[in-house]
Amino acid sequence: MRGNIIGILTVAGGYAAAVIGAGFASGQEIVSFFVRQGRAGIIGIAVACTIFSLFAYTVLARCITSGTHSFSALLAEIIPSKTMRRTVEAVILLCAMSTLCVMTSCAGELGAQLYGAPVIMGAAAFSVVCGMVFLMEIRGMMSTNAALGAVIITGIIFSCLYILRYREHQTLAPQIKAVVSGLSYAGYNVVGTGAVLAAMSRFLTEKKDAAIAAVSSGIILFTMTALIWTVLSIYYGKINLGEIPMLTMTFRQGKTLGIFYGALLAAAVITTGISSGYAVIDMLSRRMNPKNAANITLLVSFCMSGAGFSTLIDTLYRLCGYIGIAAAVYIGLKCRTQIKNEEKSRKPKHLP
């Protein structure tokens, strides 16, 4: 167990980093899905966190028992039906494409708030950068996601604590006590983390390690979500939070904190956008030339980004949430069934 601590922390941190995108870090997801529900939003957070943790454990446990580190191979093992497997892959494609669209839109909003540039210019610049990465196949950039994730996680926690400690009225709101008893937000993009979980399962050796990693990632996500939810709940309805609520809040505390948080958001946009883009292109490349797949992916994401950051989260992400959770539950049940069947087959049979 002691020798596997690094592996567990790597998986837990990498999994949490996979969840953190611009929608999460910006606070817009938290507003859309939980803050608007008032204190009852904590129930939604608990449900989402439970599904996220269970999904992580079942996928990791199945990968460990079968020795598979590819999500595509895992789906082929647990879903023999080609029709059902293609349906699940279509859901993953929809979620990944939606995430890229939202990241492109967020890049535009971020450029507007930080530099005063037109939203369309920021979105176009982001698309160009992604295009260079995709077309030149700079896959090495994806290896930096875990490290950037650790920086983003620390930065979010620090910024939220700073706002709570030094906010205008200098008094702690009652929502903080409610948040402490809440659970983390796992997200509607749960099914999209399957590839990340499968790849990281190579760092674990036992099912109990998978359980510890899943719980640890839940704690990390809980800490960030609870803090963001607390900060935004205090000010929701009292001030205009804008398209990027957390950026609005950090700039209220000072330009330095605002720029610092803006850099964190930019890192989240890039890492999530590239990861999602690669996922989409990888699936489309089975049907067409990779360059054409990249061009189509970027064109669709750029055009869709014009709908607006908050609008895309309220529509695309909500739709993907319902479909994605259903797919995640299906995959989780299939993994669990396979694990149980293998455990039964390994039990020694007693002779009469």
pLDDT at 290 over 70: yes
The domain tally of the chain equals 1
Tens of pLDDT, residue by residue over 298-348, are: 888 888 888 877 787 777 777 777 777 777 778 878 888 877 776 666 665
pLDDT at 258 over 50: yes
CATH number of the domain that residue 210 is part of: 1.10.4160.10
Whole-number pLDDT of residue 318: 73
Whole-number pLDDT of residue 346: 61
pLDDT at 264 over 80: yes
Pick the range with the lowest mean pLDDT from 246-250, 260-264, 311-315.
Answer: 311-315
Range of the domain at 289: 2-338
Does residue 187 fall inside a structural domain? Answer: yes
174, burial (CB in 10 Å: exposed 0-12, middle 13-18, buried 19+):
exposed
The pTM (predicted TM-score) of the whole model is 0.71
Does residue 155 fall inside a structural domain? Answer: yes
Dihedral of alpha carbons 61, 63, 69, 74, sign: negative
Does residue 183 fall inside a structural domain? Answer: yes
Q: Using pLDDT thresholds of 50, 70 and 90, give the confidence band for residue 28.
A: confident
Does residue 345 fall inside a structural domain? Answer: no
Does residue 350 fall inside a structural domain? Answer: no
Pick the range with the lowest mean pLDDT from 17-21, 190-194, 256-260.
Answer: 190-194
Tens of pLDDT, residue by residue over 86-130, are: 888 888 888 888 888 888 888 888 888 888 888 888 888 888 888
Averaged pLDDT, 67-81: 80
pLDDT at 170 over 60: no
pLDDT at 183 over 50: no
